[in-house]
Amino acid sequence: MTERRSIVSISLDEDQRRALAAQGSAVVLAGPGSGKTRVLTSKVAQILSETSNPRRGLACLTYNVEAAREFKNRLRDLGCKKRKNIFLGTFHSFCWAEILAPFAPLYPKYGVPQALDVISEKKLDCLFNDFIRENQRFACFNRKSVDAERVNLFKNRISCVDLKVSKNLLLHEATVEFAKFLHNRSYLDFLHLLKYSAVLLREEEYVRRAVEAKFPWILVDEYQDFGLVSHEIILTLLTRTNVKIFAVGDPDQSIYGFQGASPEYLNELARLPGVETFRLTKNYRSPQAIIDASERVLSSTNATQRSRYAAVGAAKELEAEFITLECAGGMETQYDAALDFVERFRNEGVSLGKIAVLTKYQEDARNLRRRCAQRGISVYLARPKFRRTELFFWLQSCAQWTLDKFQASFDEICATWTAFLRCSQRGAISEVELLPLRKSIYRRLIESARYKESLLNWFEYMEKAFSLFEIFDESERENLQKLENNIREEYSVAPLSSILNLGDVGDRLVVTTRHSSKGLEFDAVIMLNMEEGSLPDFHAKTPEDLAAECRVCFVSISRARKTCVFLYSRILNGKLRAPSSFLKKIIPSEKESSDF
């Protein structure tokens, strides 16, 4: 045990170690490339090694399933053993598994729908249309605007952060009515899931006791990406239980404002009494020039001291390169220019997977993909055609086991499957049923080996053999369908083994939107649409909106390890455009730089 601990702390720098030593609740402000994931996994490992009480564990909550998966792998590598009451997963799944599923049935007075399904986006769209049909006076609103309003709809909140509430009373009314509409029909969507959890936690002492008993520590990754209700849940735990919170995030990287996220929630958490704040000041990803450039973009928002991050390690030695290019034509010329750069970098020896093109719109990403196909560049769309959910990872494990029994654990496959069944309408598995179930899973997997020459056939077999479409809820079914479509389109002749890298970047050019680039890292980043009015957007007029645009730019630049390319057009859609004002900050004029 002592040995493991030393491994944990030796590989950490001074800042990271300080954050790790926090005895109570803590906020760790961690910029790009500062090793926040490492701090978080080390903290998990440290808590687990310091306490051997087998019943009281911890929860580590992430923004998405992939991050949770990443944590699981890292912890396994650190030698953390499986133990009861350790929760690694998304915030939503935590609320579902630890608050709503066990307690909503015990407290019927809160009217939580007894549905086992969280409805899918598509279904929610349909419901919204039904809602508008019934309430014509709200026809002027789309779901996006209602959702944006809905995320901030929470009564008796603890948080004092000013909310961006629309002054449009009709929109407000539409939002309230739509929430009622869903409630009356007993539909549970992700937003309601959080809200009911927050209410149960706030109102019922027993629920708080139970969460505290099982999870004396709750760690949160990417805190800046969470919205008001998640923040309320954390505040409730922090102020009304003895649960210790360890939150990691970077307010500067809060770019999911359209989903209700705000940098202010993390700042508020850091200011609370009893919460220690730590700042990681080193950047292991990029050379100083890139760090400074990205921070100069932010400095327009508040003039406080910047350049808080110092390049260290191998990254410090990298030579930064900034290239700006004015394109003669519209977007088409930007696409071509971008791909010219891609080819140039590839010829210089950079692998495709280390190059990213960041677009403003999803549509540009799609167009670029077509363009790449013409030029023979293979592309990875960072916004995948399906989500990599637990079910997907389970299918991967099954495939791996089918191909090589030493590469995957049958026990784990069975355990995950029974967990799936427990969450489904099918209900839980009693002890008596367990052995027959294992036998039947074994038989089905052995039989699936017949299809190992074709991923598509194997997938179809699995779908039938495990009745996947019957067992999973609607949103999972929808995703399963997307996965199947993706296999049909792109992997129709591929063998089973290709599922193992399905969705991996591989040696492919990454094309993604600026917003989806968060958390990724590339040698070279090529940014399109660097015109004034595109970035910052025309619509961003208030200081808050402008600050949000700065953060998007900051996130995009800080993805780069060496090279940043900025493309803009003088004429776009028939209108004369100027280069983005951000560019002046990113690349100071020749005169200024020679003064340097």
Tell me how many residues contact another protein (CB under 8 A): 26
Contact of 557 with 525, CB cutoff 8 Å: yes
- SS3 assignment for 216-241: CEEEECCHHHCCHHHHHHHHHHHHHC
Site for another protein in 246-265 (CB under 8 A): none
* Length of the chain in terms of residues written: 596
C-beta closer to another protein: residue 160 or 435: 435
Note whether 206 binds another protein by CB under 8 A. yes
Question: Cβ contacts of residue 587 below 8 Å, gap of 6+?
Answer: 293, 322, 324, 593
Place of tokens 């950490």: 12
Smallest gap from residue 432 Cβ to another protein (A): 7
C-beta closer to another protein: residue 114 or 581: 114
Note whether 81 binds another protein by CB under 8 A. no
C-beta closer to another protein: residue 211 or 248: 211
Note whether 55 binds another protein by CB under 8 A. yes
Note whether 133 binds another protein by CB under 8 A. no
3-state class (DSSP) for residue 224: helix
C-beta closer to another protein: residue 45 or 320: 45
Give the x/- contact pattern for another protein in 213-242, rule: CB under 8 A: xx-x--------------------------
Smallest gap from residue 237 Cβ to another protein (A): 14
**DSSP assignments along 21-54, one per residue:** T--S-EEEEE-TTS-HHHHHHHHHHHHHHH---T
Smallest gap from residue 278 Cβ to another protein (A): 19
Give the x/- contact pattern for another protein in 84-123, rule: CB under 8 A: xx----------------x---xx----------------
Residues facing 32 on adjacent strands: none
Smallest gap from residue 24 Cβ to another protein (A): 12
Site for another protein in 466-495 (CB under 8 A): none
What are the start-end ranges of the H helices in 224-313?
A: 228-240, 263-271, 288-299
Contact of 241 with 212, CB cutoff 8 Å: yes
Interface segment toward another protein; rule CB under 8 A; list 207-215, 378-386, 466-474, 534-542: 207-215
Note whether 209 binds another protein by CB under 8 A. yes
Contact of 463 with 448, CB cutoff 8 Å: no
C-beta closer to another protein: residue 121 or 433: 433
C-beta closer to another protein: residue 4 or 452: 4
Note whether 212 binds another protein by CB under 8 A. yes
| Gap between the Cα atoms of 312 and 287, Å rounded | 8
What are the start-end ranges of the H helices in 424-473?
A: 431-448, 455-465, 468-471
In the chain the first and final C-alpha atoms are separated, in Å, by 50
**DSSP assignments along 323-392, one per residue:** EEEEESSSHHHHHHHHHHHHHHHHHTT--GGGEEEEESSHHHHHHHHHHHHHHT--EEESS-SS---HHH
Give the x/- contact pattern for another protein in 418-437, rule: CB under 8 A: ----x----xxxxxx-----
Smallest gap from residue 9 Cβ to another protein (A): 12
Residues facing 59 on adjacent strands: 87, 218
Q: Out of 3, 10, 53, 596, which residue is the one contacting another protein (CB under 8 A)?
A: 53
Residues interacting with another protein, by CB under 8 A? 50-56, 84-85, 102, 106-107, 206, 209-210, 212-214, 216, 422, 427-432
